[in-house]
Structure 1
Amino acid sequence: MARNTHQKDTIREALRERSAFISAQQLHQQLEERGERIALATVYRQLNALADSGQVDTVRMGGEQLYRYCGADGHHHHLICTSCGRTVAIDPPSESWLRSVTAEHGFTLQSHTLEVFGLCPECQAQDGDA
């Protein structure tokens, strides 16, 4: 059973305050700015433990691993803004669609992950102003 530590609690709370994905380095910097003394390696280790336990979502974007608190709301998917990182949970594709696509290509469905990347309305508006 995974232990709860002050460091894990601090990281979990910092993630709860955000709706967007964040890198381990950005989170570490944010924690240091608050006066928390946590090593970067500890941030990585705790984020991975939280991801393994299903409390944190993780995606790869722009060549780096990003993390976001997801709580215990089960399997879900996201729209992710590639500019600001804003994240919105979306309904998954239907199970029948997933099975038909995998069968069409001779695969059997074992699991799936769906992340959709684009620009949120605010970032689209900013791009239009440039």
Structure 2
Amino acid sequence: MTRPEPAEAASRRPTRQRSALLAVLSDTDGFRSAQELHALLRARGDGVGLATVYRTLQALTDQGQVDVVRNADGEATYRRCSTAHHHHLMCRSCGRTVELADSPVERWAARVADQHGFADVQHQLEVFGTCAACAAAREPQR
């Protein structure tokens, strides 16, 4: 068994900041930007710097504990990961997110990789649209 490198071990160490950020992520629905999470931490009285929030989010993302999705504006947003590898269907209006597991994308990606001789393929898919509730709210009243 190999031991983790010092930097990797440090990124897994349970710290007060990591615990506070995980608590905020657990209490928050939907995806939030690093700045929004930082503001939530400060509102709770947790003195965590924005740079620490970014570093911790990156470490948690690398460890598979946090999902990161770029919203329609290209900004990275985060949320506590609830399952293994999956994709997201996201509402552009309200941010409602549906996790899509075991989608046909998995089989397609494997097939395309095989056809072109690629190995160790990874992919990321986020689908943006308007949820039924937001679409209904936009319809003119009759």
TM-score category of the 2 structures, normalised to the smaller one: 0.7 to 0.9
Counterparts of residues 18-97 of structure 1 (less than 5 Å): 18-61=28-71, 62-71=73-82, 73-91=83-101, 92-93=103-104, 95-97=106-108
Cα shift readout 1:101-122 (whole Å, capped 9, x = no counterpart): 4466x46361111211111222
Runs of at least 5 residues in structure 2 that lack an aligned partner in the other structure: 1-8
Give the drift of 1:98: 2.5
- The equivalent residue for 2:19 is 9
Give the drift of 1:95: 3.9
RMSD: 2.1
Contact 1:20–1:86 under 8 Å retained in 2: yes
Contact 1:59–1:67 under 8 Å retained in 2: yes
Q: CA 1:19–1:93 in structure 2 vs 1: closer, same or farther (change >3 Å)? A: farther
- The equivalent residue for 1:114 is 125
Cα shift readout 1:17-53 (whole Å, capped 9, x = no counterpart): 2231110001111221222211111111111111011
- The equivalent residue for 1:128 is 139
Matches of 1:129 and 1:44 in 2, distance apart?
A: 42
Give the drift of 1:129: 5.1
- The equivalent residue for 2:3 is none
Give the secondary structure class of the aligned counterpart of 2:30: coil
Runs of at least 5 residues in structure 1 that lack an aligned partner in the other structure: none
Between structure 1 and structure 2, the one with the greater Rg is 2
Q: Which amino acid aligns with 1:117?
A: F
Cα shift readout 1:63-95 (whole Å, capped 9, x = no counterpart): 211111004x21111111112222111132254
Q: CA 1:128–1:57 in structure 2 vs 1: closer, same or farther (change >3 Å)? A: same
